[in-house]
Amino acid sequence: MTARDGAPIRIAASVLAADFARLGDEVHAVDRAGADWIHVDIMDGRFVPDISFGPAVVKAIRASTAKPLNVHLMIVEPERVLERYRDAGADHLLVQAEPGSTVHLHRVLSQVRALGCKAGVVIDPATPVAWIEHVLHLVDIVLVMTVNPGYGGQAFLPEMLPKIAALRTLCRERGLHPHIEVDGGQDPRTVRQTVEAGADVIVAGTAIFGQPDYAQAIAAMRNASS
C-alpha cells in the first residue's frame, strides 16, 4: 500500500465515471468507501473534444464531501477561471503544460499558488517531461496522463511507464517531492506497474464506479499496489 519511495498510495475517484443523475450520492459513496481525493475533470470542448462540468457542479460536489477536490482543468486559458474554481471549493488546481492550453505556464502555476490552492501540472502522452522541468519547483502535483485526455474508459498506455520513472528520478535528483498522479486506464491489473514506476496517486473512474462495491474496488487497487 505504499509507493516506491515509501509514501502511502492515494486513490482519487474520478466522478467523470459516476452516475450524474445521482452525483451527490455517488460522491458520498466513494468518500465512505475510502477514496482519498475526489478527482474532477473540467472539459471545455476546445482543448479536448468533450464538455463536462463547470464551477456550479464543483460547488455541488464540494457540498457532498470533505475530501480534497483534485480539479483537472482540461481547458483553454485556465487563467481566466482559476479563481472561480477556487471559490467553488477546489483544493487542487491542475493545468495542462501544453501551449494549446496556456502559453504562460509559469505564471498560471504561480497564480494557483497565490489563490491558496495546491498547484498541479499535467502532461499528456506525447508531452515530454522536459516541458515541465523548469516549473517543477512550483508544483505540489504532477499528473501524467496514461491515455489521451477527453473521455473516460480508455485503455492504459504502457509506454508511459518510462516517463513516470524518469519524472520520479528527476524530482529525486532535485530534492523535490511532488505527488506523481497517474490518470488513464487504471485498475488492479495496471496499478502495480504504475506505482512501481514511481506514482503515488492513482486516478480511477470506471474501475470504481463501474463496480458494484466501491469499497471493494478501492481496496483491490490498494492491494494491487503493494
Summarize pLDDT for 11-61 with one digit per residue, the tens: 999 999 999 999 999 999 999 999 999 999 999 999 999 999 999 999 999
Whether 183 sits among the annotated catalytic residues: the reply is: yes
- In a domain, residue 61? The reply is yes
- In a domain, residue 211? The reply is yes
pLDDT, tens digit, for every residue of 59-85? 999 999 999 999 999 999 999 999 999
Which CATH number does the domain housing residue 158 bear?
A: 3.20.20.70
Q: Are 40 and 72 in contact, with CB atoms under 8 Å apart?
A: yes
> 3-class DSSP state for residue 165?
helix
- In a domain, residue 194? The reply is yes
- In a domain, residue 4? The reply is no
pLDDT, tens digit, for every residue of 134-170? 999 999 999 999 999 877 778 999 999 999 999 999 9
pLDDT for the residue 223: 93
Which residue out of 36, 124, 183, 187 is catalytically annotated?
Answer: 183
Check residues 150 and 175 and name the one with the higher pLDDT.
Answer: 175
Residue with cell 470504481: 208
Which residue out of 41, 44, 124, 200 is catalytically annotated?
Answer: 41
Range of the domain at 174: 10-225
pTM for this predicted structure? 0.95
Q: Name residue 200's amino acid.
A: D
Ranges of H-type helices in 63-209 = 82-88, 105-114, 161-173, 191-197, 206-209
| Neighbour tally for 137: CB within 10 Å | 11
- In a domain, residue 5? The reply is no
Q: 102 pLDDT exceeds 70?
A: yes
Task: Compute the chain's Rg from CA coordinates.
Answer: 16
User: Does the annotation list 152 as a binding residue?
Assistant: yes
- In a domain, residue 173? The reply is yes
- In a domain, residue 73? The reply is yes
pLDDT for the residue 1: 42
pLDDT for the residue 152: 72
Spatial CA neighbour of 70 closest among 119, 125, 106, 131: 119
How many domains are contained in the chain?
A: 1
pLDDT for the residue 120: 98
- In a domain, residue 206? The reply is yes
Q: 6 pLDDT exceeds 70?
A: no
